[in-house]
Structure 1
Amino acid sequence: MKFSHSIQFNSVPDWADHYLAYSNLKKLIYQIERDIISSSIAGQNDTETPILESEDSPLLVNKSRANAIFVPALDKELTKINTFYINKEKELLDEVNSLISDYAVFENLEDNVSIRSSALAMSRSSYQSGDGSHSRKKSSQVRRTRSVSDTAVSFMSSDEDEAETHDLHPTGGSRLSADIDADNRLSYLWSPSLLEEQRIRLKKRTIELFVWLSELKSFVSLNNTGFSKILKKYDKITNSSINLKSTYLNEVVGESYPFRQSTRQKIEQQISKVQEIYANLCTNADMDLAMRELKTHLREFIVWERNTIWRDIIGLERKSHAVGIKEPVTVNGSHSVGEGFTTPFGRVNVPYTFWKNAFLMSLFVGVFLFLLNVPLFDKVEENNCFALLVFASLLWATEVIPLFVTSLLVPLLVVCLQVLREKDTRLTAHDATKAIFQAMFSPVIMLLLGGFAIAGALSKYHIAKMMATYVLSKAGTKPSFVLLANMFVATFASMWISNVAAPVLCLSIIQPILRNLPPNNSFGRCLILGIALASNVGGMASPISSPQNIIAIENMNPSPTWIQWFFVAIPLCILIDILIWLLLIWNYEQKKSSLMIHPIRTSKDPWTGTQIFVIIVTVATIFLWCIEKRLEYFFGDMGIIAIVPLVLFFGTGILTKEDFNNFLWTVIILAMGGIALGRAVHSSGLLHTIAKRIQEEIGDLHPWHVLVIFSFLVLIVATFISHTVGALIILPIVARVGERLSDSHPNLLVMGSAFMCSAAMGLPVSGFPNMNAIMMEDEMGVRYLSTIDFIKSGIPGSILALLSVVTVGYVLMSFVGF
């Protein structure tokens, strides 16, 4: 959550105008940044030598001018906060003193209950006996208690009617009747119901004062945090050698009245007094219980917490499943627009999307039932499995139900339809259940979990961002070089924190560049598109960079080593990035542009012990993955090695159970469902039959021709549906076809097809990076990209990637023996 949102949500609504104007100060900083960049670039254009920060340099002059603009704005905000705080503090302290005084009166009344009771009893007995001495004693007691009663009357005067007050002060009659009236008056004042009523009123006032004093305390804390954050942003953006944050916070803000330690102690003392009164009133002087009860009346504050890239990609992943789903539209705030029907319990309105999905689901179920009852294959298991394959593919492609729900449906239908076989024997439901669940939780699923753990740690502790900013800070100011550097960073980041997290990270880093571009400049669109396309390319860079690679490894026998994968994928990614870079420069004419980009500043935060530990564990895990074949006798599989980062990160508390819960479990379930479907297609014999028929159609083609055919097929399919879904449907068939070729190269075909799943990037819906890029908006809420940008650059980029895979990729894969 941004702090501008935090200060808005945490502020007291009635005091909203008196908080630090954080958003306005941030806009002022951006304006100052734009002026500094313009002046520095102008100075560089005027001189051939670089500008040094000497005493007379224009850069230092600009920074001094920035201080002269920004510091008065801070002073104005500080004065506003001081004035409000002083007035509000005086008001609340007066209320506390009034509460203390009124509570003392109430306490005095309670203490005199026993005196009243004895005095009334003595007065009545004296009058009945007619003893003059008793009468005089009674009169003196009445006079003493009358003074207390008069105080009580004044205490109640704000709540009692004026006429009732006059009735309690008789002006005529004998001394005896006056004394009797006094007795009646005391009896009225000290009745248990009146005392309880006063207690309730005091309790309400105490709670209200506690809340307001706590709000005032929070007012100071929130504004102090606001000053700290806005000054940190100013120092970072202006890159000033003078640390304005430390000097202004300590010498100006810290010395202001609201932010002094003595002022905070004064508020704490007043809160303690209020707590003590509440404890005496309500909890029998139990201060701990009083504090717990008082805190229940405080507002639920929204705690400010910096978003991490990992948390952002969770939100992005969830949004991707909601594409095309709209909230029901309401008319006059009454009913949803859509079809409805009447039931005995009232009218039910259903949105149009429900009817659309219901129609599609009915159609797909009809197709499924039709295929179950039409003998397209010789064996029942093959026929049932083909119906299941078509049904699951339709559900995955249209997302009528969430992707992971379809994956959960697969093992259910596999068992119920009894599609599994073992040595020409059809497995029973009991045996099929064991077999399918054993297949679903395979070592590649642990590999995926290990990748998530590494990605979460690198993101949570800002390691990926620190490395990325360091590289980008060396990119210079030429738009073409800045574009290429960002594309390489996006591809490299995709190798380790997935091609879902990489664009989120890189797009957050380039915000200062986008902010300072001239209006309607094409470089912003070019840069965002370059990062999205490079992130897609990065999906093929390592086995853990995308789920489709996990599916590919599951269908490759023997599984490739990490060194083999890197040998093929890294040169291929570099080549495709360069080709797409040239395409973007051509499309957006950045080569002839005179635009100068302000360089991204590297992070100056020192490396912590936790960050170094995360890096060591990550590097060690990757090294073990690379030499896994040599250690196979000890580890058995890469999935076992993936447990190492899980144990070390979660066991040491670097990652918490919340981080574990935030893993992309929908992707894991999706992969498990695909593995289950692949096992069913293979076990039933359907895969053998399909591969045989495809082999008959393509004849005895060379593996290169088969790679070209499947690459085009995968590119078309994965452009319109999820990359992972395309891999789930096609890669098992590709592997089987490769096995049946006379020149058998199943691993080559599977790996090349997996690369093409990542390279499908022609539309905004073609993968997470594209969806993230199309959602990017400028400060005015206008999107940078449109569908035409992807058609103009994404489709040619996909074709360039295909040509690279079937040429350079084919040579590299053949060289390593695939």
Structure 2
Amino acid sequence: MKFSHQLQFNAVPDWADYYLAYSNIKKLAYQIEKDLFSGVEEARDAEVDERTSLLDSSARANAVFVPALDKELNKIVKFYEKKEKELFAEEKKLAEDIEAYESAHPFMNSSIVGSGYFAGTTVHDTPQSQELGTPSGSAKDPFHPQPRRPSRSLSGTWPSSEFFHDTGMPPNIPGQNRPDTDPSNKSINSEFDGKDDEDNERANLKRRIIDLYVLTTELRSYVNLNQTAFTKITKKYDKVTYNTLKSTYIPNQVLTTHPFKAATKEALAHAITEIEYMYVSLTDMEPDLAVDELKTHLREHIVWERNTIWRDMIGQERKANAVKRKKESKALNIPYVGPVSRETIQQVVTLAGCLAIFIGLLFAPWFDTVEQTYCFAILVLASLLWATETVPLFVTALTVPLLVVCLGVMKTDDGNSRLPAPDATKKIFGTMFSPVIMLLLGGFAIAAALSKYGIAKGIATVVLSHAGQRPSRVLLATMLVATIASMWISNVAAPVLCFSLIQASLPILRTLPNNSSFGPCLILGIALASNVGGMASPISSPQNIIAIANMNPPPTWLQWFCIAIPICMLADIIIWLLLLWSYRPERSTPQIHTIRPSKDPITIPQVFISIVTVGTIVLWCMEHSFESVFGDMGIIAILPLIAFFGTGILTKEDYNNFLWTVITLAMGGIAMGKAVESSGLLRYIASQIQDVVQGLNPFEVFFIFGCLVLCVTTFISHTVGALIILPIVAEVGAGLPDPHPRLLVMGAALICSAAMGLPVSGFPNMNAIMLENEMGTPYLTTLDFLKNGVPSSILTTLIVVTVGYGLMTLLGF
């Protein structure tokens, strides 16, 4: 991995602007090389080569390069001194608060602080600490630590009980020499019963210690990363210019500045050690265990800071597909041993079978015209490949327009003659990139911005912080967060966000008691609520986009919200009650740790993203009022793309990380629908179904189609089910004596999201079943989905066909 990528990945995101601008300096080194070797005018056409040698002009090169390094060095020094002053001041204040807490609670569970270890502690004898009033040469001088101060040895062990005896400090051994833990000391024990104020004060001190520890450790990492950056960039410069700058600049310039001095690093390391002792003083654990626990908070912080939800979502999707294949192989007793395996052979056999069926259907005598026959063969082939996933879904989607044009299934608008291949190509491609696809891209842009800049995380933590400590309330709040998040960052990214919260940012799972039923209950609740959230808005799932493409006129956002949000809320509550009845989490976990809201300051980019997002949603909701200006929701979707990418909020890397496989799948589905309509096959199938449902009222037809959609999409992708079924539903609805095509299409799309009975019934389920505890044991099994997912699917479908039907009827669908 290139160092520029390592620097970007390991940098503290909030401090990104204060690191050495490695990439820019490297470009400058290459430009100097070009200018010196070929001359400024000739360098415009010259290729940059790291092996290019320069014969002279070293002084002239240094005159350009060294000032650029000096500028970066000054920036780093100023930033470090500012952060060091802030952190050391907070450390001093924290030590004083711990001393005050010790005085108020003399029998606290701390032997180190209780012995007066922090009494009168001054922080560090640095220029910054002197500004705070720390006397030079104090007894706590970090550069001359006192011999009696306890410290860890190189082997990682802590001071023995003899050391504490020599220093007058009682050993911190759980259950020994502690008045508050001595069973015989009942009077003291009784004083500690129910001391909520003391517990809250101690918890607040521990939280402050954790925050200070994370920031101080990040500051040490900041110094190390920048020192490595200076070393590497000067080495790179020397290599491309045949210079010797590194040997003089690093020792004479970098290492003589305050952040990179050995004494400064020692002071910072000493500060980290003191913070560890503070944490040890407030716990009941052995010192080694307490420090290890403190370091887990550092890892959790890094896990969250280093990953955006959008990047995680893509990785999790790939893992989900791999897990799905492994589980299918296990069910068939096929060993999963890599790309060349019995599973691969099975895929080849399946593909051959699909192609054989396709070829056979090309000669089927069931239809009136050859265009209908060929189109039916393409439809069956695409359905089989999508259902079996023998080849990637997007590959099947790309195969559709190829076969449609080559087999000549497209007809003219009057339906009397076959379109020639050039005209069919223009028509099919013009259909594939529709306003609906642009709506999908706009939704991806909003989702990426909300997750990249922590807006979704911030809102989620604020909501969860008000949930209290009862598992039932936390479960409901988390499910609502998952549903609401699915509205704006899709039901693919929402479960990734929520699982990241409960694992890293809000480590709920890790802090649960052993064998607690709340862990599986919470994970399953997030998965099911994310599936439900797939109904909530037009951009929350691809099947909604496909539904809009099959509705004429398409529903407004306001109409969609009026129908979907009540259904989602009712479904969440019913699923919540079902999970509480099934798992009874409060029996094994009476309460969980308090969830604190994020205290990160609101930034200008976050405000800008929020304004653009809200403004876009308002325009989508009022699309008909601005139809003369924008024409369609797809044009409005361009606004967030321009606003975010044009201002640098999102980069081309974010654009490349869009789920282009989903976009391609939607485009292939639209092409399939257009081909089925143009060939006349859709009218033929719809007429056959209409004969079956003849005499039934719209509600009965809706119920039948709802059951059909639920069964199909439980076993295949929700999006694939929508691609296959929704065009047929629209045509059948239009042909009823009392036509309600929009009602049937939207209802069927909502029921696609309600199918969540199996681990493979959607991305949220596949993501949930992959989660494992620290021992590598999965939280969920297929039985959990059968016991809870299947009833949840049925109950949610009943809500759609009852409450949803009533709401859509009231709105004139």
Alignment TM class, shorter chain as reference = 0.5 to 0.7
For 2:396, give the aligned amino acid.
T
Larger Rg: 1
Q: Work out the CA distance in 2 between the residues paired with 1:529 and 1:269.
A: 48
* Preserved contact between residue 527 and residue 765 of structure 2 (Cα < 8 Å): yes
- Cα shift readout 1:138-195 (whole Å, capped 9, x = no counterpart): xxxxxxxxxxxxxxxxxxxxxxxxxxxxxxxxxxxxxxxxxxxxxxxxxxxxxxxxxx
* Preserved contact between residue 275 and residue 287 of structure 1 (Cα < 8 Å): no
Is 1:513 the counterpart of 2:508? The answer is yes
Is 1:789 the counterpart of 2:784? The answer is yes
Q: Work out the CA distance in 2 between the residues paired with 1:308 and 1:416.
A: 43
For 1:711, give the aligned amino acid.
G
Distance 1:754 1:352, change over 3 A: same
Q: Work out the CA distance in 1 between the residues paired with 2:501 and 2:222.
A: 34
Q: Give, in angstroms, the shift of residue 353 of structure 1.
A: 2.1
Matches within 5 A, 1:9-28: none
Bigger shift: residues 610-619 or 239-248: 239-248
Give the one of 354, 358, 368 matched to 1:368.
358
For 2:205, give the aligned amino acid.
S
Matches within 5 A, 1:209-228: none
Structure 2 alignment gaps of length 5 or more? 11-99, 119-141, 143-148, 158-199, 251-301, 330-334
Q: What is the match of residue 382 of structure 2? A: 392
Q: Work out the CA distance in 2 between the residues paired with 1:604 and 1:655.
A: 24
Matches within 5 A, 1:418-567: 418-422=408-412, 423=414, 424-511=416-503, 512-567=507-562
> Per the alignment, in what secondary structure is the counterpart of residue 515 of structure 1?
coil
Distance 1:82 1:507, change over 3 A: closer
Q: Give, in angstroms, the shift of residue 318 of structure 1.
A: 2.3
Q: Work out the CA distance in 1 between the residues paired with 2:509 and 2:404.
A: 51
For 1:669, give the aligned amino acid.
T
Q: Give, in angstroms, the shift of residue 338 of structure 1.
A: 8.9
Q: What is the match of residue 576 of structure 1? A: 571
Q: What is the match of residue 22 of structure 1? A: none
Distance 1:63 1:435, change over 3 A: farther
Matches within 5 A, 1:689-728: 689-728=684-723
Q: What is the match of residue 667 of structure 2? A: 672
Distance 1:63 1:791, change over 3 A: farther
Q: Give, in angstroms, the shift of residue 750 of structure 1.
A: 0.5
Q: Give, in angstroms, the shift of residue 374 of structure 1.
A: 1.6
Q: Give, in angstroms, the shift of residue 59 of structure 1.
A: 14
Matches within 5 A, 1:35-74: 61=108
Matches within 5 A, 1:574-723: 574-590=569-585, 595-723=590-718
> Per the alignment, in what secondary structure is the counterpart of residue 558 of structure 1?
coil
For 2:612, give the aligned amino acid.
V
For 1:442, give the aligned amino acid.
S
Q: What is the match of residue 294 of structure 2? A: none
Q: Work out the CA distance in 1 between the residues paired with 2:116 and 2:773.
A: 25
Q: Give, in angstroms, the shift of residue 57 of structure 1.
A: 8.3
- Cα shift readout 1:47-102 (whole Å, capped 9, x = no counterpart): xxxxxx9888889956998999999xx9988864999xxxxxxxxxxxxxxxxxxx
Q: What is the match of residue 729 of structure 1? A: 724
Q: What is the match of residue 315 of structure 2? A: 315
Q: Work out the CA distance in 1 between the residues paired with 2:215 and 2:627.
A: 60
Q: Give, in angstroms, the shift of residue 718 of structure 1.
A: 0.5
Distance 1:237 1:799, change over 3 A: farther
Q: Work out the CA distance in 1 between the residues paired with 2:501 and 2:216.
A: 32
Q: Give, in angstroms, the shift of residue 515 of structure 1.
A: 1.2
> Per the alignment, in what secondary structure is the counterpart of residue 645 of structure 1?
helix
For 1:451, give the aligned amino acid.
G
* Preserved contact between residue 108 and residue 114 of structure 2 (Cα < 8 Å): no
For 1:491, give the aligned amino acid.
T
> Per the alignment, in what secondary structure is the counterpart of residue 205 of structure 2?
coil
- Cα shift readout 1:426-466 (whole Å, capped 9, x = no counterpart): 10111100000000000000000000000000000010000
Is 1:402 the counterpart of 2:392? The answer is yes
Q: Give, in angstroms, the shift of residue 591 of structure 1.
A: 6.1
- Cα shift readout 1:360-386 (whole Å, capped 9, x = no counterpart): 111111111111012210111111100
- Cα shift readout 1:108-156 (whole Å, capped 9, x = no counterpart): xxxxxxxxxxxxxxxxxxxxxxxxxxxxxxxxxxxxxxxxxxxxxxxxx
Distance 1:593 1:427, change over 3 A: same
* Preserved contact between residue 347 and residue 390 of structure 2 (Cα < 8 Å): yes
Q: Work out the CA distance in 2 between the residues paired with 1:590 and 1:251.
A: 38
* Preserved contact between residue 283 and residue 290 of structure 1 (Cα < 8 Å): no
> Per the alignment, in what secondary structure is the counterpart of residue 579 of structure 2?
helix
Alignment identity in percent?
A: 60
* Preserved contact between residue 490 and residue 531 of structure 1 (Cα < 8 Å): yes
Distance 1:246 1:442, change over 3 A: closer
Distance 1:426 1:308, change over 3 A: same
For 2:311, give the aligned amino acid.
R
- Cα shift readout 1:21-47 (whole Å, capped 9, x = no counterpart): xxxxxxxxxxxxxxxxxxxxxxxxxxx
Bigger shift: residues 305-314 or 403-412: 305-314
* Preserved contact between residue 372 and residue 384 of structure 1 (Cα < 8 Å): yes
> Per the alignment, in what secondary structure is the counterpart of residue 598 of structure 2?
coil
Structure 1 alignment gaps of length 5 or more? 11-52, 84-234, 293-302, 330-335, 340-348
Q: Work out the CA distance in 1 between the residues paired with 2:692 and 2:215.
A: 80
Output the TM-score relative to the length of structure 2.
0.66
> Per the alignment, in what secondary structure is the counterpart of residue 612 of structure 2?
helix
Q: Work out the CA distance in 2 between the residues paired with 1:544 and 1:270.
A: 48
For 2:316, give the aligned amino acid.
L
Q: Work out the CA distance in 1 between the residues paired with 2:353 and 2:104.
A: 73
Output the TM-score relative to the length of structure 1.
0.65
Q: What is the match of residue 759 of structure 2? A: 764
Bigger shift: residues 243-252 or 492-501: 243-252
> Per the alignment, in what secondary structure is the counterpart of residue 425 of structure 1?
coil
Q: Give, in angstroms, the shift of residue 578 of structure 1.
A: 0.5
Distance 1:574 1:268, change over 3 A: closer
Q: Give, in angstroms, the shift of residue 589 of structure 1.
A: 1.9
Q: Work out the CA distance in 2 between the residues paired with 1:601 and 1:569.
A: 31
- Cα shift readout 1:566-599 (whole Å, capped 9, x = no counterpart): 0000000000000101111111124666611112
